[in-house]
Amino acid sequence: MNETDPLGRLTGMTAEDFATQHWATAPLLRRAADLPGGGFADMLSPDAVDELVSQRGLRTPFLRMARDGSVRPPSSYTRSGGAGAEIADQVADDKLLAELAAGSTLVLQGLHRTWPPVVDLAGALARQLGHPVQVNAYLTPAQNTGFDPHYDVHDVFVLQFTGRKRWRIHAPVVDAPLRDQPWQDHRAAVAARAAEEPLIETVLEPGDVLYLPRGYLHSASALGELSGHLTIGVQPVTRAFLASRVLDLVSDDVELRRSLPMGVDLGDPDVLVGDLKATRDALHAAVDRLDDADVVATIAAAVGRHLSAGTRPAPLGPLAQLAAAERVSADDVVVLRPGLRCTLGGPGDRDGTVRLRLPDKSLNLPERLADAAARVVTGDPVTVADLGREHGLEADDAAVLVRRLLLEGVVVPA
């Protein structure tokens, strides 16, 4: 997997071309012959699925099953883990086999957290797209359909890794739906649209890729044999998110805090006309009073927190980190942990310190180490010796900084 250009592997396009021609606007179908990488068996395979469900102790919600358009109860494919694993919802391989034999689709959820090749792909793709990514796998027995026609509230890349599956794609009934606009709220419209001629009807073979912006209706049926595909879900940050953050900034405006009138029916549209106009005017005035630079900085920080909550940096080995921290030497090379969002700046909690802000904590560093820490957070690899030499630090100071950053999971050995 190309760590620097996962989009190239998935689409055969440059990131710039994909952004202008397809991102969030138009489906894309790519055949295996037109893509680099030779398919996706390295990401997941039937043997890997067998290992996951029989040897890795998966629990709900990391898997679920569906049949005839309905989700199956967890009790139909889980049981107690037995001695030493006193949990009630561990996957039971024999029960799962019976479900598959009866035509159920197996959904492996959150593979971006449980299966190393998928973890790597999801992390690299999230960094390239700039939006959070999740990955599920769907395995459907021959001649079966896992889910009724529906749309997702996130963009998807479908990667066929085994078998064949027929897909039917229809235009949206809700353009660019948000997370609080699920397809179940539009069942009649979805059913009516799904009865029309599809925009795309195609069979995905191993190595094929289908990209669908959120809102596009889709359904899929396995053909002739077990079919498996990965679905990469991209959860975009939207303008609606920015708008909600702007509203947060002006919600304390005194005109917006005014009470509505008493002694009237507030459910009557005629009663609300005046106050709705006053509210709209107050919003306009409050937003116009905001300082653009302050707004951008504040909202950028909010987006950063949102992304930190929705993404995870590259995995690190706690034991390897501990060992590296115990033997820091001048020749060691370290690099910012890939995908870690952090900022350096502003005073710390104590005089003479500077704060390094991480997703769920902050570190106070001695002010004399600020320039060296700033060098680390650029993301470029650096040796301990160079870190000290470039920023006028004693060798011991550079080693102490690197040791702490290793123990805090900020840097990793390069």
Cβ-proximal residues to 160 (8 Å cutoff; 6+ apart), any chain? 40, 204, 205, 206, 207, 208, 209, 227, 228, 229
* Mean pLDDT rounded to a whole number for the chain: 93
**Confidence band (pLDDT; 50, 70, 90) for 142?**
confident
Query: Is the Cβ–Cβ distance between 262 and 316 less than 8 Å?
Result: no
User: CA nearest 273: which of 288, 261, 285?
Assistant: 261
Q: What is the model's pLDDT at position 3?
A: 66
Calculate mean pLDDT across residues 44-59.
Answer: 94
| CB-neighbour burial class of residue 350 (10 A; exposed 0-12, middle 13-18, buried 19+) | exposed
Q: Which amino acid is at 186?
A: H
**Confidence band (pLDDT; 50, 70, 90) for 21?**
very high
Which domains are present in the chain? 6-234 (2.60.120.650), 239-309 (no CATH), 318-413 (3.90.930.40)
Q: What is the model's pLDDT at position 215?
A: 98
- Residues across the chain: 414
Place of tokens 């115990």: 326
How far is residue 99's CA from residue 236's CA, in Å, rounded to a whole number? Answer: 34
The residues pairing with 165 across neighbouring beta strands, listed in sequence order, are: 204, 222
184, two tokens: 């179940």
**86-112 confidence digits (pLDDT tens):** 788 999 999 999 999 999 999 999 999
Show the CA angle centred on residue 287, arms to residues 283 and 292, nearest 5°.
Answer: 170
Which one has a higher pLDDT value, 188 or 144? 188
Q: What is the model's pLDDT at position 70?
A: 86
Query: Is the Cβ–Cβ distance between 141 and 163 less than 8 Å?
Result: no
Cα 376 to Cα 371, 386, 389, distances in angstroms: 9, 11, 14
Range name among 22-36, 137-151, 309-323 with the lowest pLDDT average:
137-151
**Confidence band (pLDDT; 50, 70, 90) for 144?**
confident
How far is residue 71's CA from residue 150's CA, in Å, rounded to a whole number? Answer: 14
How far is residue 399's CA from residue 390's CA, in Å, rounded to a whole number? Answer: 14
Residue 104 is given by DSSP the state P
172, two tokens: 């949206």
Given a cut of 80, is residue 85 above it in pLDDT? Answer: no
**235-286 confidence digits (pLDDT tens):** 999 999 999 999 999 988 999 999 999 999 999 999 999 999 999 999 999 9
User: CA nearest 384: which of 328, 340, 326?
Assistant: 328
Range name among 108-112, 343-347, 366-370 with the lowest pLDDT average:
343-347
> Could you tell me the maximum CA-CA distance found in the chain, to the nearest angstrom?
78
Name the helix (H) or strand (E) containing 363. Answer: strand 362-366
**Confidence band (pLDDT; 50, 70, 90) for 146?**
low
